[in-house]
Amino acid sequence: FLTAGAVMKQLEIRNIQDMGGLAGQMPITATSSTTAALSIGGVPPFACFMSEFIIFVGAFQAINADGFYLLPTALMLVATVISLAYSLRFLSHVFLGHLKHEKITDVPLLMKLSMLALAAIVIILGVWPTFFVHIISATPLV
Protein backbone atom coordinates (compact mmCIF):
# COMPACT_ATOMS: atom_id res chain seq x y z
CA PHE A 1 0.00 0.00 0.00
CA LEU A 2 2.92 2.33 0.67
CA THR A 3 4.24 1.93 -2.85
CA ALA A 4 0.79 2.31 -4.43
CA GLY A 5 0.31 5.50 -2.43
CA ALA A 6 3.72 6.75 -3.53
CA VAL A 7 2.79 6.25 -7.18
CA MET A 8 -0.55 8.03 -6.74
CA LYS A 9 1.21 10.91 -4.95
CA GLN A 10 3.74 11.40 -7.73
CA LEU A 11 1.30 11.03 -10.63
CA GLU A 12 -1.67 12.70 -8.92
CA ILE A 13 -3.97 10.14 -10.54
CA ARG A 14 -5.68 7.05 -9.14
CA ASN A 15 -6.69 5.05 -12.23
CA ILE A 16 -4.27 2.17 -12.84
CA GLN A 17 -5.15 2.22 -16.57
CA ASP A 18 -3.62 5.70 -16.83
CA MET A 19 -0.27 4.51 -15.49
CA GLY A 20 2.56 2.63 -17.14
CA GLY A 21 6.29 2.43 -17.73
CA LEU A 22 7.27 3.93 -14.40
CA ALA A 23 10.05 1.45 -13.51
CA GLY A 24 12.68 3.62 -15.20
CA GLN A 25 11.43 6.82 -13.60
CA MET A 26 10.71 5.39 -10.14
CA PRO A 27 13.23 2.54 -9.68
CA ILE A 28 13.17 2.44 -5.87
CA THR A 29 9.38 2.36 -5.82
CA ALA A 30 9.33 -0.32 -8.54
CA THR A 31 11.83 -2.50 -6.66
CA SER A 32 9.95 -2.14 -3.37
CA SER A 33 6.63 -2.88 -5.10
CA THR A 34 8.06 -6.00 -6.70
CA THR A 35 9.41 -7.21 -3.35
CA ALA A 36 6.02 -6.64 -1.70
CA ALA A 37 4.07 -8.29 -4.53
CA LEU A 38 6.22 -11.41 -4.54
CA SER A 39 5.99 -11.65 -0.76
CA ILE A 40 2.19 -11.34 -0.82
CA GLY A 41 2.13 -14.16 -3.35
CA GLY A 42 4.13 -16.41 -1.04
CA VAL A 43 7.17 -16.61 -3.31
CA PRO A 44 10.45 -17.64 -1.67
CA PRO A 45 12.68 -16.10 -0.31
CA PHE A 46 10.27 -13.41 0.90
CA ALA A 47 8.67 -13.12 4.35
CA CYS A 48 5.19 -14.44 3.59
CA PHE A 49 6.52 -17.63 2.00
CA MET A 50 7.38 -19.31 5.29
CA SER A 51 4.07 -18.46 6.95
CA GLU A 52 2.07 -19.63 3.94
CA PHE A 53 4.18 -22.78 3.72
CA ILE A 54 3.54 -23.63 7.38
CA ILE A 55 -0.18 -22.94 6.99
CA PHE A 56 -0.41 -25.20 3.93
CA VAL A 57 1.59 -27.99 5.60
CA GLY A 58 -0.85 -27.88 8.52
CA ALA A 59 -3.82 -27.78 6.15
CA PHE A 60 -2.62 -30.82 4.21
CA GLN A 61 -2.04 -32.68 7.48
CA ALA A 62 -5.60 -31.80 8.50
CA ILE A 63 -6.89 -33.17 5.18
CA ASN A 64 -5.15 -36.47 5.94
CA ALA A 65 -6.91 -36.59 9.31
CA ASP A 66 -10.31 -35.44 8.07
CA GLY A 67 -11.37 -34.89 4.46
CA PHE A 68 -13.61 -32.02 5.58
CA TYR A 69 -10.60 -29.70 5.32
CA LEU A 70 -10.13 -30.26 1.59
CA LEU A 71 -12.47 -27.43 0.56
CA PRO A 72 -11.03 -24.79 2.93
CA THR A 73 -7.51 -25.75 1.86
CA ALA A 74 -8.45 -25.49 -1.81
CA LEU A 75 -9.99 -22.06 -1.16
CA MET A 76 -6.80 -20.94 0.61
CA LEU A 77 -4.75 -22.05 -2.37
CA VAL A 78 -7.03 -20.19 -4.78
CA ALA A 79 -6.86 -17.05 -2.61
CA THR A 80 -3.06 -17.22 -2.60
CA VAL A 81 -2.93 -17.48 -6.39
CA ILE A 82 -5.41 -14.61 -6.77
CA SER A 83 -3.32 -12.45 -4.42
CA LEU A 84 -0.23 -13.07 -6.50
CA ALA A 85 -2.16 -12.42 -9.72
CA TYR A 86 -3.54 -9.03 -8.66
CA SER A 87 -0.15 -7.99 -7.28
CA LEU A 88 1.56 -8.89 -10.55
CA ARG A 89 -1.20 -7.09 -12.47
CA PHE A 90 -0.49 -3.95 -10.44
CA LEU A 91 3.23 -4.23 -11.23
CA SER A 92 2.56 -4.82 -14.91
CA HIS A 93 0.17 -1.90 -15.37
CA VAL A 94 2.12 0.60 -13.29
CA PHE A 95 5.79 -0.13 -13.84
CA LEU A 96 6.01 -1.97 -17.17
CA GLY A 97 4.77 -1.11 -20.64
CA HIS A 98 4.87 2.26 -22.32
CA LEU A 99 5.57 5.40 -20.31
CA LYS A 100 2.34 7.40 -20.21
CA HIS A 101 3.62 10.41 -18.26
CA GLU A 102 6.68 12.53 -18.88
CA LYS A 103 9.01 13.98 -16.26
CA ILE A 104 7.87 11.89 -13.33
CA THR A 105 10.36 11.80 -10.48
CA ASP A 106 10.75 9.19 -7.80
CA VAL A 107 9.35 9.89 -4.35
CA PRO A 108 11.11 12.03 -1.71
CA LEU A 109 14.07 10.57 0.18
CA LEU A 110 12.16 9.71 3.38
CA MET A 111 9.59 7.72 1.42
CA LYS A 112 12.39 5.93 -0.43
CA LEU A 113 14.07 5.05 2.85
CA SER A 114 10.78 3.76 4.30
CA MET A 115 10.12 1.58 1.26
CA LEU A 116 13.68 0.24 1.20
CA ALA A 117 13.62 -0.51 4.94
CA LEU A 118 10.36 -2.46 4.64
CA ALA A 119 11.61 -4.31 1.55
CA ALA A 120 14.78 -5.24 3.43
CA ILE A 121 12.75 -6.56 6.37
CA VAL A 122 10.60 -8.64 3.99
CA ILE A 123 13.74 -10.18 2.47
CA ILE A 124 15.52 -10.71 5.81
CA LEU A 125 12.49 -12.43 7.35
CA GLY A 126 12.17 -14.58 4.25
CA VAL A 127 15.80 -15.67 4.28
CA TRP A 128 16.14 -15.88 8.06
CA PRO A 129 12.65 -16.55 9.50
CA THR A 130 14.01 -17.98 12.75
CA PHE A 131 15.20 -14.49 13.72
CA PHE A 132 11.62 -13.33 14.17
CA VAL A 133 10.47 -16.63 15.69
CA HIS A 134 13.11 -16.32 18.43
CA ILE A 135 11.93 -12.79 19.23
CA ILE A 136 8.30 -13.93 19.46
CA SER A 137 9.04 -17.02 21.55
CA ALA A 138 11.16 -15.00 23.99
CA THR A 139 8.42 -12.42 24.60
CA PRO A 140 6.31 -14.45 27.10
CA LEU A 141 9.42 -15.06 29.18
CA VAL A 142 9.88 -11.35 29.93
0.95 cut: is pTM over it?
Answer: no
- How far apart, in whole angstroms, are the C-alpha atoms of residue 40 and residue 46? 9
What is the per-residue pLDDT across 68-101, written as a single tens digit (0 to 9) for each?
999 999 999 999 999 999 999 999 999 998 888 7
- How far apart, in whole angstroms, are the C-alpha atoms of residue 16 and residue 13? 8
Q: Is the pLDDT of residue 136 over 80?
A: no
Q: Phi-psi region for residue 3, left (φ > 0), alpha (ψ -120 to 50) or beta? A: alpha
Confidence bin at 141 (pLDDT 50/70/90)? low
Is the CB of residue 137 less than 8 Å from the CB of residue 58? no
What is the per-residue pLDDT across 28-66, written as a single tens digit (0 to 9) for each?
999 999 999 999 888 999 998 988 988 999 999 999 999
Instruction: List Cβ neighbours of 45 (8 Å cut-off, separation of 6 or more).
Output: 123, 126, 127
What pLDDT sits at residue 140? 65
What pLDDT sits at residue 16? 84
Identify the burial level of 2 via C-beta atoms within 10 angstroms of its C-beta, where 0-12 means exposed, 13-18 middle and 19 or more buried. middle
What pLDDT sits at residue 70? 96
